[in-house]
Structure 1
Amino acid sequence: MAGKTQVITLTTDFGCKDSFVGIMKGVILSIQPDIKIVDITHEIERHNVEEALYALTYSYAYFPAGTIHVVVVDPGVGSGRRPLLVQGEQHLFLAPDNGVLSFLYDEENKCTVRVIEADHYFRKPVSRTFHGRDIFAPVAAWLGKGIKPENVGPVISDYSRLNIPQLLISDECIRGEILYVDRFGNLITNIQKKRLDSVLGEKGEIAVECKGVTVRGLYDAYADNTTGLPGIIINSFDLLEIFCYKGSVQETTGLKRGDRVQVCLG
């Protein structure tokens, strides 16, 4: 995948109050001034590696082949955790070795993981607290200029993985988990439409149960739910989502990321 890259994306938990994101962009542009930089999000919950994993999982494939994705949600910065470069089939990913790229190890058919060791591509001196500026941003920029991934460091196999929640499927029920709460308070689960269709099909109405809360009503659009109660929708990523029209289902129910959900005929 060597050759000039047109796009670098950034996903961080830095927010927009401080100058961290702007500094990373400055480092990138100092090395590769023609690159386009796209912000996926900088509003990941602080230190929340799982939330960053979700954000990147459902966004990276919309970018053109050759895009370089930089993820800096890095509670272990300055410790012994390693910086990684992961080569997928069409994209490159730079991130700390904390499991934030776990989805790639399962979804990409051909995935090569390298530890970044070529420190002549780093910004010097390397801070113990800002590897986004001193390692990830400059290495991404040099990759964008066309250096080969194999020049960055050796292939490894002992990289960290997160325990990504798996679905439990029976004849008429699917058990999953709330993956993410968006800014509208919608609860996004890991239950895919194709799983719902294969297990429940056209058997009838479904009900979602979670910590004593039962939600019924599968809607095609948010505005179709005029009951004032939580409803169910298949979102734009083909995931089952619980919502309140013009309201926050998180505030209404108290449910949160990590809560287990069960979908059955109801």
Structure 2
Amino acid sequence: MAMITLTTDFGVRDPYVAAMKGVLRRRCPGAIIDDLTHDIAPQDVLEAALFIEDAAPWFPDGTIHLVVVDPGVGTTRRPIAAGSGGHLFVCPDNGALTLWLGRHKLDWAYEIISDASATEMVSSTFHGRDIFAPAAAALANGGDPATLGKPVTDLVRIQIPAPDCYDKGRISGVIIHIDHFGNCITNIRREHNAVAAGAVYIGDCAFPLAKTYGDVPPGEPLALYGSGGRLEIAVNQGHAARQFGLAHMTQVILAEE
């Protein structure tokens, strides 16, 4: 039985998600449809990329991930279907797969151009319903991806700053995401550096490197590698971003004591 996940910035109070699900249920009624999230910040493709990097690997091989965070809808940006790491993706070619493809080989990708996979009338502002959902349904029904359109290899990648490794015990990075709890997630991954004990420095503030939030008292700051493998700035039972005025692209330095 096919599994389809949905990731969008649509929210749930408007009819957009329901319309996409309606297309999927009409075209592939036996598929399992899971909502990953519809709370991606509006037009935030990098946030969508982070969500896919963290959540998609936990689904079974063969899962179809329908990702619609599409600020360029109706323009020349390409709609694509892609296979990578045992999973299938249907999304705009706008960088939503950047982080996934940084860790998994691209097996194939097609620009979706087949009229047969679209709804009867394609809106210039809702490709999620009229192009992406029908393409995902076609794949869920066992369709050959090659019938969707023409092969492509040059997928768009978001330019994310790479961590700057000064030496074995010091690395500089930036905050690339702030989650629901106010934890500030950086571009530094565990494998980037061998620092096992030390602190993260942001300006004059030091955040001791810990293993879990409870290693410090409630209200106290810390840094740790989160469940997704990225270095995070946090406050135990608090909101680090608000408490310290942190934002996207704020520089952080991880150093040994």
Normalising by structure 1, we get a TM-score of 0.91
2:202 aligned with 1:206, yes or no?
no
Provide the residue aligned with 1:166 in structure 2: 162
1:179 pairs with 171, 176, 180, which one?
Answer: 176
Q: 1:194 to 1:158 in 2, by over 3 A?
A: closer
Provide the residue aligned with 2:187 in structure 1: 190
Identical-residue share of aligned pairs (%): 39
Contact 1:77/1:128 (CA < 8 Å) preserved in 2? yes
Contact 1:54/1:179 (CA < 8 Å) preserved in 2? no
Q: 1:6 to 1:238 in 2, by over 3 A?
A: same
Cα deviation for residue 16 of structure 1 reads 1.2
The one-letter amino acid paired with 2:98 is S
2:110 pairs with 114, 119, 138, which one?
Answer: 114
Matched residue SS, 1:65: coil
2:49 aligned with 1:57, yes or no?
no
The one-letter amino acid paired with 2:188 is I
Matched residue SS, 1:59: helix
Greater alpha carbon shift after TM alignment, 256-265 vs 63-72: 256-265
Provide the residue aligned with 2:125 in structure 1: 129
Determine the C-alpha separation between the residues in 1 that align with 2:256 and 2:183. 22
The one-letter amino acid paired with 1:243 is A
Cα deviation for residue 178 of structure 1 reads 1.2
2:41 aligned with 1:34, yes or no?
no
Determine the C-alpha separation between the residues in 1 that align with 2:218 and 2:96. 38
Contact 2:200/2:208 (CA < 8 Å) preserved in 1? no
Provide the residue aligned with 2:254 in structure 1: 263
Determine the C-alpha separation between the residues in 2 that align with 1:188 and 1:213. 19
2:203 aligned with 1:251, yes or no?
no
Ranges in structure 2 where 5+ consecutive residues have no aligned partner: none
Contact 1:105/1:111 (CA < 8 Å) preserved in 2? no
Contact 1:11/1:52 (CA < 8 Å) preserved in 2? yes
Cα deviation for residue 227 of structure 1 reads 5.9
Cα deviation for residue 108 of structure 1 reads 1.9
Cα deviations by residue, 1:33-78 (Å, 9 ceiling, x for unpaired): 1111111111111001111111111111111010000110101111
Contact 2:82/2:106 (CA < 8 Å) preserved in 1? no
- Higher relative strand content: 2
Matched residue SS, 2:61: coil
Runs in 1 of length 4+ with deviation above 4 angstroms?
none
Provide the residue aligned with 2:206 in structure 1: 215
Could you say what the CA RMSD is over the residues aligned between the two structures, in angstroms?
1.5
The one-letter amino acid paired with 1:18 is D
Provide the residue aligned with 2:147 in structure 1: 151
Ranges in structure 1 where 5+ consecutive residues have no aligned partner: none
Q: 1:73 to 1:231 in 2, by over 3 A?
A: same
